Structures are given as C-alpha cells and as structure tokens.
Amino acid sequence: MLYWFLKWVGLGPIMKLLWRPRVEGASSLPAAGPVIIASNHLSFIDSFFLPLMVRRRVTFLAKAEYFTKPGFAGWLSKRFFVGTGQVPIDRAGADAAKAALDTGLRVLTEGSMLGIYPEGTRSPDGKLYRGKTGVARLALASGAVVVPCAVINTDKLQPPGRLLPKLRPRPRLRFGAPLDFSGRTAEAGDRESERAVTNQIVEAIRLLSGQEYVDEYAADVKAKRGGPRAFGSS
C-alpha cells in the first residue's frame, strides 16, 4: 500500500512536477511476467526515478544499512525504502552474493519485476563499467526477459556528496528492446555463458546511454581512488 501511495499520491507526483523526467521506449516493458530491468547507475536518485516511471511495481535489492540505522531517522529510512519496493541485502558476509541472487530469483519466480544495476555500484565518474555476472545468473536461471535501461543526467542532478538533488538538467530514462535468454536456461551456472550474457546486456546499456565503457569493475576503481564515502555512494 505504501509503495503505491508514494508512487501515485505522495512522492511520485512531486518528482514528476519538479523534474519532469522524460521516458523513451516504455513500450519495451512487458505488461506481465518476470522481467529484469538492467540499468546503468549514476546517482543515488536512480532508484527513485526508475520505479516512478514504470507502471508495474519494481523491486530493487538495496544495502541492508538503509534498513538498520538507529533512532527515528532510521525508522523513517526503513519505512521509506520498504515502501518504495527495496529489499535489504547484507553485502558484508561471505554469503552476501548468494543471498542477493536467491532474493532476486524469488522475486522473478513470483512473476514480478526486478531492478538491478549490473555494475554493482554507482559509477564513480559517469562512465559505464564492467558488469558483474549476477544479472546473467538471474536471467538464465529464471528465464526472465531483460530490458536494458539507460538513466541519463542523474549524476548531474545529484552527484556524490550532494544531499538534495538539483532541479536541472531534466533526467531521462531510455528503455531498449527486451533481451530473451529463456532458451538458454541450461547454461545457468556456466561461467563463460554468464560472462557472455552479462557483456551483451552491458553493451545494450552502453548503446542506449552513449557512455564510455571501461573494462574494469567500478568497485575496484573506487577502491584504488580511495577517499571517504559520501552521501549517495553505493
């Protein structure tokens, strides 16, 4: 109930009024059945614009820290992320990747729509980075179609360290043609197949976004650069 209230009555109309997000290719999104929306990740605010502009409910896998902060602010944060369709994932443990994949697979098995960032974290500089193979594992194991998505301008609206987003430039979401891997479910668990499928998905995102591609993991680049983590980092 809270999800739909925020989407249609609360936060959604306000965001549409203030930022007027532009959407291209929304007809590419299937009206029913399991779907993975695979998007680039430029800003903390991406996870707000994406569910806002998609008619179906979109579930994202979010950092568990968003749900466990103490005090009233922590309670408010938890209610907000639960209400906007986020599912907490503990990324610190040895089984973190498996827990995330199991949760994502459950969402898809229920015939729902899952949002995922193949890069695994926000881009540190607006470039598109090497995808992690979790998106391919989910696609091959579930048979869900993958709809590539490019989020544009959100890094300019809310760069790392900025608490409140700017009002300009106008954000854009561009959806591409669905990628169907349902005939390749027997390849689930094969590392070469998962890498090939991941690369295909990331390339589709690159063509939509026009970003420069870097064949490194974004998390490794962030680790090399060091520095304190700012608000909006992920």
| pLDDT digit string, tens, across residues 37-46 | 999 999 988 8
Least trusted range by pLDDT, from 22-31, 62-71, 120-129, 208-217: 62-71
The pairing of beta strand 145-152 with beta strand 213-214:
unpaired
Please, what sign has the CA dihedral across residues 120, 205, 49, 169?
positive
Q: What is the pLDDT of residue 97?
A: 72
Q: Is residue 57 part of a domain?
A: no
Least trusted range by pLDDT, from 11-20, 52-61, 112-121: 11-20
pLDDT band at 210 (very low <50, low <70, confident <90, very high): very high
| pLDDT digit string, tens, across residues 126-163 | 999 999 999 999 999 999 999 999 999 999 998 877 77
pLDDT band at 101 (very low <50, low <70, confident <90, very high): confident
What average pLDDT does the segment 26-55 reach?
91
Q: Is residue 5 part of a domain?
A: no
The boundaries of the domain holding residue 143 are 33-50+94-156+177-225
Block residue for tokens 């993975």: 36
pLDDT band at 209 (very low <50, low <70, confident <90, very high): very high
CA 137, CA 147: separation in Å to the nearest integer?
Answer: 15
How many CB atoms sit inside 10 A of residue 33's CB? 12
Q: What is the pLDDT of residue 228?
A: 42
Domain count for the chain: 1
Least trusted range by pLDDT, from 36-50, 80-94, 97-111: 80-94
| pLDDT digit string, tens, across residues 165-208 | 888 899 999 999 999 999 898 898 899 999 999 999 999 999 99
Residue 70 pLDDT > 90: no
pLDDT band at 120 (very low <50, low <70, confident <90, very high): confident
Least trusted range by pLDDT, from 4-18, 54-68, 167-181, 182-196: 4-18
What pTM was estimated for this model as a whole?
0.85
Please, what sign has the CA dihedral across residues 215, 217, 220, 222?
positive
Q: Is residue 67 part of a domain?
A: no
Furthest-apart CA atoms within the chain: distance in Å: 49
Partner residues linked to 104 by β-bridges: none
Q: What is the pLDDT of residue 13?
A: 78
Residue 7 pLDDT > 80: no
Q: Is residue 191 part of a domain?
A: yes
* Nearest Cα residue to 39 out of 30, 27, 51, 21: 51
The more confident residue out of 52 and 201 is 201
Q: Is residue 117 part of a domain?
A: yes
Highest mean pLDDT among 44-58, 89-103, 105-119: 105-119
Residue 88 pLDDT > 90: no
Q: Is residue 88 part of a domain?
A: no
Helices (H), ranges, the chain:
2-8, 11-19, 46-52, 71-83, 96-109, 134-142, 154-157, 191-209, 218-225
Q: Is residue 85 part of a domain?
A: no
